[in-house]
């Protein structure tokens, strides 16, 4: 349920509505908007009637929300959310680029790649330090050592750090070293981790599970918002289908659909979404044309020597030429905060 307040509702009126919600045993979520404040209500105790709120001072309307996701929905918050990652805005006019290697492999490697990322004009550096791998015998990342190198590379270049958080045990360490916490596809259903991150204020990049419906992705984001962290960026990274020529099927339908259903920014990962470096540039262009707020890309100065995902990593030359084309495309696209169509 969503309580809409008058455009000029006072702070006292707002707080009064919130305390009323609390008294009824629910949780109020204040949702700031360009035009007016709204207050979302969550909690699964009992049914609540609009009449409980319509008579309160400052309230203009009470809307019931039938979708299973509430706080993430456009019904709750019609204005698009802009997530600020250390000064870099996701969901605004600019298309943001996150680039870097699959894994931090050494100090030299990440420093070299960071320079390339900087040169391209991108503002965020990615690199895995704690890697969830299908095999217990595969390279699991440099862990804390990797985080140190990543941080150093970011500081030298002025880039922001994006890295994956693997579990609740290493969450605080990873949070300390990063500007944007990535939750990987395999952790999208890890509700205990989502809840812990919901209690932080740190921006989060939440990747769609490779067999998750869009509703499930939005519900996973809802877990984070419901605990008070509204800084969530969603990410489409390809889903599992019967097709075997590509590693995954990049579901770009998700981009306009999520923009219709939710106010949260949505970016795309064409590296995992295709699994082949030569499909990345056209699919990156496609993602941007579909309305994505950003891209996350695997790039490596020596793809043939990468510890993991080498085949889907862009070489410096392909990467730079691709970014140039993306920037040209950006100029003709009309990026707005409006729901599409």
Binding residues for a second copy restricted to 151-190, rule: CB under 8 A: 166-169, 186-187, 189-190
**Is the CB of residue 265 less than 8 Å from the CB of residue 82?**
yes
Q: How far apart are the first and last CA of the chain?
A: 26
Residue 213 in the binding site for a second copy (CB under 8 A) = yes
Give min distance, CB of 71 to a second copy, in A: 9
Candidate ranges 17-25, 48-56, 58-66, 235-243; the one touching a second copy (CB under 8 A): 235-243
Q: Is 141 in the site for a second copy (CB under 8 A)?
A: no
We find the least distance from the C-beta atom of residue 291 to a second copy, in angstroms, to be 5
Site for a second copy contains 289 (CB under 8 A)? yes
For a second copy, which stretch binds (CB under 8 A), given 30-38, 85-93, 154-162, 274-282?
Answer: 274-282
Contact range with a second copy by CB under 8 A, out of 4-12, 101-109, 155-163, 212-220: 212-220
Question: Based on CB atoms, which residue is closest to a second copy, 69 or 90?
Answer: 69
Residue of 127, 146, 273, 303 that binds a second copy (CB under 8 A): 273
Distance CA 167, CA 203 (A): 17
Position 22 contacts a second copy (CB under 8 A): no
Closest among 84, 73, 126 to 231, alpha carbons compared: 84
Alpha helices in the chain (DSSP H): 11-23, 51-54, 107-119, 144-157, 171-177, 191-198, 214-226, 254-261, 270-274, 280-290, 316-332
Binding flag, residue 256, a second copy (CB under 8 A): yes
Binding-site member from 19, 57, 241, 336 for a second copy (CB under 8 A)? 241
Binding positions for a second copy, 319-338, rule CB under 8 A = 325, 328-329, 331-334
Examine residue 137 and tell whether it contacts a second copy (CB under 8 A). yes
Cβ atoms of residues 131 and 139 within 8 Å = yes
Q: Is 232 in the site for a second copy (CB under 8 A)?
A: no
Asked if 79 interacts with a second copy (CB under 8 A), we say no
Among residues 7, 201, 240, 335, which is the contact residue for a second copy, using CB under 8 A? 240
Q: Which is nearer to a second copy, 37 or 258 (CB)?
A: 258
Give the rounded distance of the alpha carbon of 101 from its chain centre: 18
43-72: which residues touch a second copy (CB under 8 A)? 43-44, 68, 70
Instruction: Tell me the three state secondary structure of residue 166.
Output: coil
- Phi, psi angles (nearest 5°) of residue 99: -140, 160
**Could you tell me if 287 and 238 are in contact, meaning their C-beta atoms sit under 8 angstroms apart?**
no
250 binds a second copy (CB under 8 A): yes
- Closest by CA to 170, choosing from 198, 195, 193, 139, is 193
304 binds a second copy (CB under 8 A): no
Q: Which is nearer to a second copy, 173 or 257 (CB)?
A: 257
Q: How far is the CB of 222 from a second copy (least distance, A)?
A: 6
How near is the Cβ of 127 to a second copy at its closest, in Å?
A: 19
d(CA 233, CA 204): 6
262, 219 contact by CB (below 8 A): no
Compare residues 88 and 295 and give the one whose CB is closer to a second copy. 295
For residue 160, report the phi and psi dihedrals to the nearest 5 degrees: -90, 150
Q: Where are the alpha helices (DSSP H) in 24-143?
A: 51-54, 107-119
Rounded to whole angstroms, how far apart are CA atoms 208 and 206?
7
Of the candidates 199, 278, 335, 338, which one interacts with a second copy according to CB under 8 A?
278
Segment contacting a second copy (CB under 8 A): 28-36, 41-49, 100-108, 229-237?
Answer: 41-49
Q: Total number of residues binding a second copy (CB under 8 A)?
A: 79
| 280-290 and 316-332 helices, crossing angle to 10° | 20
């Amino acid at each position: 349920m969503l309580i809409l307040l008058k455009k000029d509702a006072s702070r006292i009126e707002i707080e009064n509505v919130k305390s009323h919600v609390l008294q009824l045993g629910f949780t109020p979520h204040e949702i700031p908007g360009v035009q007016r404040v709204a207050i979302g209500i969550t909690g699964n105790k009992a049914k609540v009637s609009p009449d409980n709120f319509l008579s309160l001072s400052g309230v203009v309307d009470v809307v019931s929300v039938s979708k299973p996701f509430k706080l993430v929905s456009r019904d709750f918050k019609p204005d698009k959310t802009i997530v600020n990652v250390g000064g870099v805005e996701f969901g605004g006019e600019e298309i943001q680029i996150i680039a870097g290697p699959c894994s931090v492999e050494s100090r030299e490697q990440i420093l070299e790649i960071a320079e390339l990322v900087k040169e391209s004009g991108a503002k965020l550096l990615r690199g895995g330090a704690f890697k969830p791998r299908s095999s217990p015998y595969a390279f699991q990342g440099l862990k804390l050592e990797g985080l140190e190198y990543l941080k150093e590379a970011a500081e030298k270049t002025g880039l922001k750090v994006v890295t994956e958080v693997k579990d609740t045990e290493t969450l605080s360490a990873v949070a300390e070293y990063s500007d944007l916490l990535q939750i990987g596809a395999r952790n999208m259903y890890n509700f205990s981790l989502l809840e812990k991150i919901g209690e932080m204020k740190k921006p989060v990049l939440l990747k769609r599970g490779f067999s998750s419906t869009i509703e499930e992705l939005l519900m996973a984001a809802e877990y984070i918002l419901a605990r008070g962290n509204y800084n969530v960026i969603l990410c489409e990274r390809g889903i599992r289908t019967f097709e075997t020529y590509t590693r995954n099927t990049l579901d770009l339908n998700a981009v306009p659909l999520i923009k219709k259903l939710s106010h949260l920014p949505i970016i795309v990962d064409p590296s995992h979404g295709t699994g082949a470096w030569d499909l990345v540039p056209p699919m990156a262009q496609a993602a941007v044309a579909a309305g994505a707020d950003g891209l996350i890309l695997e790039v490596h100065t020596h793809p043939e020597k990468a510890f993991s995902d080498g085949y889907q990593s862009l070489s410096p030359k392909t990467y730079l030429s691709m970014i140039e084309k993306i920037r040209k495309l950006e100029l003709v696209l009309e990026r707005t905060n409006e729901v599409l169509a």
